[in-house]
Structure 1
Amino acid sequence: MSEADAEPAAPTPGRTEVWIEKYRPQRLDDIKGHENIVPRLLRYVERDDLPHLMFAGPAGTGKTTAAQAIAREVYDDDWRENFLELNASDQRGIDVVRDRIKEFARSSFGGYDHRIIFLDEADALTSDAQSALRRTMEQFSSNTRFILSCNYSSQIIDPIQSRCAVFRFTELAEAAIETQIREIAEIEEIAVTDDGIDALVYAADGDMRKAINALQAAAVMGETVDEATVFAITATARPEEVEEMVGYAIDGDFTAARAALEDLLTDRGLAGGDVIDQLHRSAWELDLPERAIVRLLERLGEVDYRITEGANERLQLEAMLASLALEDA
Structure 2
Amino acid sequence: MSEADNVSEEETAGRGEIWIEKYRPQELDDVVGHEDIVSRLARYVERNDLPNLLFSGPAGVGKTTCAVAIAKELYGDDWETNFLELNASDQRGIDVVRDRIKNFARSSFGGHDYRIIFLDEADSLTSDAQSALRRTMEQFSNNTRFILSCNYSSKIIDPIQSRCATFRFRPIESEAVATQIQKIAEAEDIETTEDGIDALVYAADGDMRKAINALQAAAVMDEVVDEEAVYTITATARPEDIEEMVGHAIDGDFSKARSILDDLLTDKGMAGGDIIDQLHRSVWEFDLDEADAVRLMDKIGEVDYRISEGANERVQLEALLASLSLGE
Whether TM exceeds 0.5 here: the answer is yes
1:110 Cα deviation after fit: 2.1
* Separation of aligned partners in 2, 1:278 and 1:22: 30
Tell me the SS of whatever aligns to 2:72.
Answer: helix
SS of the residue 2:86 aligns to: strand
- 1:74 maps to 74
TM-superposition CA deviations, 1:42-87 (whole Å, max 9, x none):
0001111100000000000100000000001100111001000000
Matches of 1:132 and 1:278, distance apart in 2 = 39
- 1:262-301 alignment, distance < 5 Å: 262-301=262-301
Which residue number in structure 1 is paired with residue 219 of structure 2? 219
Distance 2:305 2:68 in 1: 36
TM-superposed deviation, 1:14: 2.8
State the SS of the aligned residue for 1:99.
helix
Aligned to 1:327: 327
1:282 deviation in Å?
1.1
Counterpart in the other structure of 1:175:
175
Counterpart check, 1:145 vs 2:145: yes
Deviation for aligned residue 1:25: 0.2
Number of the residue aligned with 1:237: 237
CA shift digits 1:195-246 (9 cap, x unpaired): 1000000000000000000000000112111000000000001000000000
Q: How does 1:102-117 map to 2 (within 5 A)?
A: 102-117=102-117
Structure 1: where are the runs of 5+ without partners? 1-8
RMSD over aligned CA atoms reads 1.0
The letter for the 2-side match of 1:227 is E
Percent of pairs with identical residues: 74
- Counterpart amino acid of residue 141 in structure 2: S
Aligned residue number for residue 3 of structure 2: none
Q: Summarize the alignment of residues 31-180 of structure 1 with structure 2, pairs less than 5 Å apart.
A: 31-180=31-180
Q: Look up the SS of the partner of 2:273 in the other structure.
A: helix
After the TM superposition, which of the residue ranges 144-153 and 100-109 deviates more from structure 2?
100-109
In 2, the alpha carbon distance for the partners of 1:137 and 1:160 equals 8
- Tell me, what secondary structure is at the counterpart of 1:97? helix
TM normalised by structure 2 equals 0.96
Mapped partners of 2:288, 2:163: distance in 1: 48
**Separation of aligned partners in 1, 2:165 and 2:220:** 42
| In structure 2, distance between residues paired with 1:75 and 1:111 | 9
Partner SS, residue 278 of structure 2: helix
The equivalent of 1:12 in structure 2 is 11
Task: Tell me how far apart the structure 1 counterparts of residues 25 and 82 of structure 2 sit (CA, whole Å).
Answer: 19
> Which string of whole-angstrom CA distances, capped at 9 and with x for unpartnered residues, describes residues 144-168 of structure 1?
0000000000100000000000000
Q: Which runs of 5+ in 2 are unaligned?
A: 1-6
Code of the aligned partner of 1:186: E
Q: SS of the residue aligned with 1:232?
A: helix
- Matched residue type, 2:11: T
